[in-house]
Structure 1
Amino acid sequence: MATADPKKKKKKRKKKESLEHKRNRILVALGIFAVVYALDELGTLTAAFGTPGDIYASFALFLVPFLIAGYDVLQKAFSNIRRGKAFDESFLMAVATIGAFAMVFFPDTDPHMAEGAAVMLFYQVGELFQAYAVGKSRKSISAMMDIAPDYANVEQPDGTLEQVFPDDIAVGTVIVVKPGERVPIDGVIVEGETQLDTAALTGESVPRPAKSGDDIISGCINMTGLIHVRTTKSFGESTVARILELVENASEKKARTENFITRFARIYTPAVTGAAAVLALGGGLVTGAWSDWILRGLTFLVVSCPCALVISVPLSFFGGIGGASKLGVLIKGSNYLETLADVDTVVFDKTGTLTNGTFSVVAVHPEAGYTEQSLLEVAALAESFSDHPIAQSVRAAYQGELDPKRVSDSANDAGHGVTATIDGKHVVVGNAKMLAAAGIDVPNCEVVGTILHVLVDGVYAGHIVIADTVKADAEQTIRDLHAAGVKRTVMLTGDREEVAASVAKQLSLDEFHAQLLPGDKVERVEALLAAESGKGKLAFVGDGINDAPVLTRADVGIAMGAMGSDAAIEAADVVLMDDKPSNISRAIRVARKTMSIVWQNIIFALGIKLLILVLAALGIANMWLAVFGDVGVAIIAILNAMRAMGVKNL
């Protein structure tokens, strides 16, 4: 059996051990710190070493937990200095904490070794919180990575199954998927039937039935029956491979806000370092109270560390993308998540997006003594030799068995209908033009769709209405979008005006445009984009290959992933892994919640830090308040960022 690369497993295990080791190291340092702090506060050090010996004993004892907890921070700071990249949070922590210990050279002031050790300890506690939060937000995305299959079963001539790497399977090969196994490659079921668990792809917990002739996508879990699948794509082009590629590349596309924070930190860090130096040196030169002003400068440095921003903002976006993936929505980068939050116009393609994209009988109106079933039987027999989608829908609607032997002299009049002799009777099934040619005036029908009129031996027997049915959750989708703050919903379609009008009315769309070619759709979208004002953005939702140009042109392109074309999925910025348009509104709510959390963290972190920076410059804030201003703010911001992963009530 093919297995995952052991080097990858080893690497992953090593990382986990490193985090555990760091946690244990910090716990040991915290224990030692607590003991030393108690000895210092209870006067034990003074009693044992006298004055000023107690200060030097305190220096030596507090240095132990400081080095145990923070040696890696000091190493990183000195390494960055050597590489010419000094100004980061490690540098600020190193300078501030070493400076606090250096206050031992001013024995006339209160000792600050405890604060120096505490700053490093709590900074490392904040780093642990960050590691935990990132690990938690990665889980939903890591679950996606677990959909990658290890092998495919290929049946040998002697009936045995050989496990082969999916990459080595040629298109057209018949593979066997046993119950409990993951489908490795996209294909068509040629034998067997089963229930499929698609939760990892779509977020849908209800199993989907699948039988011979059904398309099947990789990444699903075969739950009940043994199935044989003929592959229709190579592994590299299959659904699971495309999803993995999207997930792996998502972190590379950063939002404007995320890029701003990165640029801000590069300017901010050296600026506050310089300000701290000016504060310490300037105050010391003017007043001569060097110890007081150096302490103010060190406190200023601790507070100014930007880790709350540089950790929580990317973590918020990461959590939002991970939360969306739980809903079966793949967002290709935080830049698209940010844009999605500003969407106020959603434009839909009709077929396959708001409608199912398959014809079905929606009404049967019999006349001349026929019943619905007898009229369907005549039409189904007449259409029994046709592969046209309309013929297939008529046969599917008839519930009884069809005997082709009852049919003779079947003929097809392309674009109009069919004629046949059934049980010796001449039958015509076609549109109004075909019956008009036979001298029959057909009645009007209020039901919108393609109408098949049935004539039996010159007698009008009734008509059957066939239409592309609206998806079950399409109407709710439009209501949810308006509730989520979307101002305008628009439908674009190449279908007839009356069909488009019927769908638009049923769904309560704000506007629609019919009989459009692919190029016309692009023009319509560009006109809608030109009408956008302020921060408003336009999203286009489609599933067909002819939607790719429009998906690319929109501010955010959303593709229906499960049944959508490869071109549409490639061109889109957001992919819905099931075909439920209702997830569009949920994705928008995830995006808006994420951006709200991002700005909460930015305003909270900068506001608290600015306040404590002013207090530090005035000599009011002490090192303990500085610890809260840095580590406390960072932990609160991280915990707030983790809320972006919560999508249960969206």
Structure 2
Amino acid sequence: MTKKQRAMLWRIIISAILMVALALISTTGWIQIALYLICYLIIGYDILRKAILGIFNGKIFDENFLMAIATVGAILLGEYSEGVAVMLFYQIGELFQSYAVGKSRKSISALMDIRPDYANVEKDGTLVQIDPDEVAIGTVIVVQPGEKIAIDGTVKEGTSSLNTSALTGESLPREVGVGDDVISGCINLSGLIKISTTKEFGESTVSKLLDLVENSSMKKSQSENFITRFARYYTPVVCIGALLLAIIPPIIRMTALGMEPMWIDWITRSLTFLVISCPCALVISIPLSFFGGIGAASSRGILIKGSNYLEALAETKYVVFDKTGTLTKGVFEVTNTHPINVSKDLLLEYAAYAESYSNHPISKSLKKAYGKELNSSRVSDVEEIGGYGVTAKVDSKKVAAGNSKLMKKLKLSYNEPDKVGTVVHVAIDGKYAGYILISDVIKQNSRMAIMGLKKLGVKKTVMLTGDAKKVADAVAKELGIDEVRSELLPADKVNQVEELLAKKGVKEKLAFVGDGINDAPVLARADLGIAMGGLGSDAAIEAADIVLMDDDPSKIPLAMKISRKTLGIVHQNIVLAIGVKVIVLVLGAIGIANMWFAIFADVGVMILAVLNATRALIVKKNSY
């Protein structure tokens, strides 16, 4: 409990004790009035202050104004206990709401703790702690057991286990060694490791993640925007309604019916009307529900950039996947070489050198299979042709390495293997030299992800890939994907998504899941972009609306489950808050509901709605 919450709790306790004492002790006259006023000011001085400031700042019609007018009015009419009770229970509700909001922030606050305070840099044989912002790219930082990795980089020395739970929500440690890429925010569990930084701190994973979390509340859902607009018009209307309720019936009784106007009775009803009409339950519980949903997702390694995206996820009926790095690990291995008029070693050597400047997973697998250190002076005139492959000069020989479309572009005949895999065709000095077969590994949870989506009512799953049709069809069949579109150039993926968007229903949403830099335009174009945050490129993560921090596609149905549960809670709270208020407003207007009914309609409903909203924080493991 915060200092402010403890202070409020003491004010509530003191006021409650005074109220009980006043009920038990028989007092009258000015002493009674003075004691009730003291009790009222102890519990309600901050509400009165906010109401007065709101009037001067042009924000008259808010819950503080309603509470101030209703309670001050009740006291002026001699209803001292009711006036103090309304303020007391209102503050109890506010304290409860504050505590619930604090609890819902807990998971996101835990995420904020991943920010490293320093980075260790070795100088003159000793470790010096410096601000991560001051570490340049290429600097070797030292991470000791128990410390956080401050900046993204590559392990240059040592082996260790990393705790990635703050980023991914998974407790299983990750083993790393020399040559492995590591991301900031992870905790080093065992051995000392030295890391060569590949990014500045401002561009590192932890920095971008924190920025996204901090800004997630800026993007409001349709439900939140509706409540904001609703409150803007609702409060002035009920204030005018309360004023009319206090004036018109007594005038009608006096002039038209010739009866006693009963001003006190109708003013009391109008004040009760004001207390009932306070929109606290809606204004508080709806954003709290979305905040809880986002917090629950972040605790499982799913970063949702705003409640509007959480809402859109619940309406998703079409999910389109990239293949490499999304449904597959992006870990390629050379499984076969088929040389023509050259040796296997020479075929692999030329392919590795031609791809030496690329960081594509296929290029990495070729370099790994070659297994020798590459001499960059042997390579020149490198040209990467998007969707085709690369051309380069290796030892003054013109080498082309890529897919069948590159061979067609070069007007060369080529062979196709019988086995399924990614084929890299190689040409040397304008002559076809053979192919290298590379196989990707399907992620363990990819099939579970597709099954989970279908179970949740997703109408169609689609896979878009630049791979050969044979490879794409084999992967799609194994995973149970409904439709596959292969041999696509990066620009073709946007066109395919445009086509799918045109076919879906008006209220249906389409999500695209990808990881590469060439997926950024598609992620931005889809109704909902979902990026792989571990292996994914910076451009893809920036363009996406949802980021999976551990690259696990089975988190997509889990995120959808969280979103649907959150939307269900939001709708329940809207029905509860509006339904109860309408009933009690009518009862108050006709004189059946008194101030105690009003307290339930306001504070009671708010507490019930907030309690319901906190359910959004609870996520069962593998609940999809």
TM score, norm. by length of structure 1: 0.81
Query: Alignment partner for residue 95 of structure 1, among 64, 69, 75?
Result: 69
Query: Where do 1:470-485 residues align within 5 Å?
Result: 470-485=442-457
Q: How does 1:35-184 map to 2 (within 5 A)?
A: 35-37=21-23, 39=24, 44-45=25-26, 54=28, 57-104=31-78, 112-157=79-124, 159-184=125-150
**d(CA) in 1 for partners of 2:416, 2:141:** 53
- Aligned partners of 1:384 and 1:391 also within 8 Å: no
**Distance change >3 Å, CA 179–CA 279, structure 1 → 2:** same
- Post-superposition offset of 1:534: 3.3
Decide which of 299, 302, 317 is 1:344's aligned counterpart.
317
Q: How far off is 1:362 after superposition?
A: 6.9
2:332 is paired with a residue whose SS is strand
**Which residue number corresponds to residue 637 of structure 1?**
609
> CA 1:514/1:392 → structure 2, altered by over 3 Å: closer, same or farther?
closer
Q: Secondary structure at 2:477's aligned position in 1?
A: helix
1:215 is matched with 181
Mapped partners of 2:438, 2:285: distance in 1: 54
Give the Cα separation in 2 of the matches to 1:390 and 1:344.
32
C-alpha displacement of 1:61: 2.8
Deviation, structure 1 residue 504: 0.9
Contact 1:493 1:514 in 2 (8 A): yes
Q: How does 1:373-384 map to 2 (within 5 A)?
A: none
Query: Structure 2: how far apart are the matches of 1:362 and 1:122?
Result: 72
What does residue 437 of structure 1 align with? none
Alpha-carbon distance between aligned partners in 1 of 2:91 and 2:296, rounded to the nearest angstrom:
27
The superposition leaves residues 75-105 of structure 1 with CA deviations (integer Å, 9 ceiling, x where unpaired) of 100111122211000000001111111112x
Structure 2 counterpart SS, 1:647: coil
| 1:557 is aligned to 2:543 | no
Contact 2:70 2:274 (C-alpha < 8 Å) held by counterparts: yes
Q: Distance in 1 between matches of 2:137 and 2:578?
A: 56
SS at match of 1:356: coil
1:31 corresponds to 2:5:
no
Contact persistence 2:137–2:199 (CA under 8 A): yes
SS of the aligned residue for 1:254 comes to: coil
8 Å CA contact 2:520, 2:543 repeated in 1: yes
2:504 is aligned, of 532, 541, 557, to 532
- The secondary structure found in structure 1 opposite 2:264 is helix
**Secondary structure of residue in 2 paired with 1:620:** coil
Q: Specify the SS of the correspondent of 1:512.
A: strand
- CA-CA distance at 1:379 after TM superposition: 7.2
Cα pair 1:380 1:394 within 8 Å, conserved: no
Offset from partner CA, 1:516-559 (integer Å, 9 cap, x none):
11111111101111111131100100000000110110011111
Q: Could you report, residue by residue, the CA deviation over 1:132-180 in whole angstroms, capped at 9, with x for unpaired residues?
A: 11111111111121111111101012x1001110111111111101100
The match for 1:511 is: 483
**1:253 aligned residue:** 219
Q: How does 1:96-495 map to 2 (within 5 A)?
A: 96-104=70-78, 112-157=79-124, 159-287=125-253, 288-360=261-333, 387=352, 445=418, 447-448=420-421, 450=423, 466-495=438-467
- State the percentage of identical aligned residues: 57
Residue matched to 2:384 = none
Secondary structure of the 2:601 match is: helix
Q: Distance in 1 between matches of 2:335 and 2:601?
A: 65
Query: Which secondary structure state, in structure 2, belongs to the residue aligned with residue 351 of structure 1?
Result: coil
Distance of aligned partners of 1:383 and 1:624 in 2 relative to their CA distance in 1, 3 Å threshold: same
Classify 1:397/1:300 alpha carbon distance in 2 versus 1 (closer, same or farther; 3 Å).
Answer: same
1:316 touches 1:594 (CA, 8 Å); kept in 2?
A: yes
User: How far does residue 191 in structure 1 lie from its aligned partner after superposition?
Assistant: 0.3
Quick one: which amino acid aligns to residue 636 of structure 1? L
Local SS of the residue matching 1:162: strand
| Distance (Å, rounded) in 2 between the aligned partners of 1:226 and 1:443 | 48
RMSD over aligned Cα atoms: 2.9
Query: Which amino acid letter does the alignment assign opposite residue 329 of structure 1?
Result: I
Question: Structure 1, residues 318-371: CA drift from partner, whole Å, max 9, x if none?
Answer: 111111101111111111111111111111011110111121367999xxxxxx
CA distance change for structure 1 residues 116 and 639 in 2, over 3 Å: closer, same or farther?
A: same
1:24 to 1:381, Cα distance in 2 relative to 1, 3 A: farther
The CA deviation at 1:286 is 2.6
Q: 2:87 & 2:449 partners in 1: Cα distance?
A: 51
Give the Cα–Cα distance (whole angstroms) in 1 for the partners of residues 424 and 439 of structure 2: 9
Tell me, in whole angstroms, the C-alpha distance in 2 between the residues paired with 1:514 and 1:443.
16
Residue aligning to 1:566: 538
In structure 1, runs of 5+ residues without a counterpart are 1-14, 105-111, 366-377, 405-413, 417-430, 433-440, 453-462
Q: Secondary structure at the match of 1:353?
A: coil
Q: Partner amino acid for 1:171?
A: I
Q: Does 2:24 correspond to 1:19? A: no
- CA pair 415-154 structure 1, distance change in 2 beyond 3 A: closer
Whole-angstrom distance in 2 between the partners of 1:285 and 1:319: 49
Provide the rounded CA distance (Å) in 2 between the counterparts of 1:403 and 1:97: 82
Distance 2:362 2:526 in 1: 33
SS in 2 for 1:578: coil
Q: 1-side partners of 2:334 and 2:139: how far apart? A: 36
Structure 1 stretch displaced more, 385-394 or 115-124: 385-394
Q: Which amino acid aligns with 1:121?
A: L
| SS in structure 2 of the partner of residue 354 of structure 1 | coil
The TM-score normalised by the length of structure 2 is 0.85
Q: Specify the structure having the higher radius of gyration (Cα).
A: 1
- Name the CA distance, whole Å, in 2 between partners of 1:383 and 1:538: 41
Asked if the contact 2:421–2:440 (Cα under 8 Å) also holds between the matched residues in 1, the reply is no
Whole-Å Cα distance in 2 between the matches of residues 382 and 446 of structure 1?
19
- Per-residue deviation at 1:55? 6.3
On the 8 A contact 1:363/1:447 being kept in 2, the answer is no
Alpha-carbon distance between aligned partners in 2 of 1:58 and 1:640, rounded to the nearest angstrom? 40
Residue in structure 2 matched with residue 543 of structure 1 by the alignment: 515
1:592 equivalenced with 2:558 (yes/no): no
Q: Counterparts of 2:240 and 2:247 in 1: how far apart (Å)? A: 10
In the alignment, the residues of structure 1 paired with residue 507 and residue 367 of structure 2 have an alpha-carbon distance, to the nearest angstrom, of 51
| 1:608 aligns to 2:594 (yes or no) | no
> Residue 292 of structure 1: SS of its match in structure 2?
helix
Q: Read off the aligned partner of 1:471 and give its amino acid letter.
A: K
Find the aligned partners of 2:415 and 2:226 in 1 and give their Cα distance.
Answer: 67
**8 Å CA contact 1:559, 1:572 repeated in 2:** yes
Distance, in Å, in 2 between the alignment partners of 1:526 and 1:118 is: 59
**In the TM superposition, what is the alpha-carbon distance from 1:256 to its structure 2 partner?**
1.5
Give me the whole-angstrom Cα distance separating, in 2, the residues matched to 1:392 and 1:386: 11
Q: Give distance in 2, aligned partners of 1:591 and 1:391.
A: 38
* Residues 424 and 436, structure 2, Cα contact 8 Å, conserved in 1: yes
Matches of 1:141 and 1:386, distance apart in 2: 47
Residue 647 (structure 1) aligned to one of 598, 619, 623: 619
Distance in 2 separating the partners of 1:444 and 1:242:
43
Q: Which amino acid in the other structure matches residue 579 of structure 2?
A: G
Do the aligned partners of 2:420 and 2:470 also contact (CA within 8 Å) in 1?
no
Q: What amino acid maps onto 1:31 in structure 2? A: I
Distance 1:198 1:185 in 2: 14
Specify the SS of the correspondent of 2:326: helix
